[in-house]
A and B are shown apart, each in its own frame.
Chain A
Amino acid sequence: DAKTTQPPSMDCAEGRAANLPCNHSTISGNEYVYWYRQIHSQGPQYIIHGLKNNETNEMASLIITEDRKSSTLILPHATLRDTAVYYCIVKPGNTPLVFGKGTRLSVIA
């Protein structure tokens, strides 16, 4: 059973904000929202995670709706190097990551 739903692909102009949506309508109270990305064929890279509150770090911002049924990953100023597959994962802490198909983000010059 897929716990998250993401669009298969998105485009974003270089320098603009990239907003990647994720639907997780069946999320449980003890489950976190994690975002990872995979650039080309490299190993996935952690971006950010959150439980209830919005989070921000040097890479991105994570906006979680009040009902926690959806979230948005925001890359504030997308560059060509942000072209990657982005995975939204919902899980309790201390359990393995289970990957879906993610969203392929293409940043266009």
Chain B
Amino acid sequence: NAGVTQTPKFRILKIGQSMTLQCAQDMNHNYMYWYRQDPGMGLKLIYYSVGAGITDKGEVPNGYNVSRSTTEDFPLRLELAAPSQTSVYFCASSYSRQGDTEAFFGQGTRLTVV
């Protein structure tokens, strides 16, 4: 049982390049989330999904896209990387029981845009 797995762990992108951050969970959780964390700050919600085929915007969705074709996977797409997207990205998942949504987080992807 691996939990939430994020790949890659580190990546350097040039301005204007595109990439996909991968996130997979093996806990059969229906909820999945993407957060970013800038240095010295708390986590900000980018997008989330309550199930396959359903996604919704969070606090800071601009510059990102997501899709949820399976329960297990929730990739985050950066189309035109900008220096402002330099951050640590965390994926998380949880099971939607009423009032009992303990979320499990991956170890993060550290992205630098230069």
Chain A interfacial positions (CB closer than 8 Å to B): 32, 36, 41-46, 49, 51, 87, 92-94, 96-102
Contacts and interface: CB of A to CB of B under 8 A. Distances in A.
Chain B CB within 10 Å, residue with most, of A93, A101, A102: A93
Given A41-B88, A44-B43, A99-B42, A93 B99 contact: yes
Interface of B: 4, 31, 33, 35, 41-45, 48, 58-59, 88, 90, 92, 96-108
B44 A93 contact: no
Nearest to B107: A43
B42 A43 contact: no
A91 B1 CA distance: 28
A93 B101 contact: yes
B44 A99 contact: yes
B61 to A, nearest CB: 12
B101 A43 contact: no
A104 B45 CA distance: 21
Q: Find the residue from B43, B45, B48, B106 having the highest chain A CB count within 10 A.
A: B43
A100 B97 CA distance: 24
A93 B102 CA distance: 10
A96 B90 contact: no
Contacts of A45: 105
A106 B3 CA distance: 28
Given A42-B108, A43-B107, A43-B108, A32 B42 contact: no
A42 B4 CA distance: 13
A63 B15 CA distance: 48
B58 A87 contact: no
A42 B90 CA distance: 9
Nearest to B47: A96
A91 B80 CA distance: 33
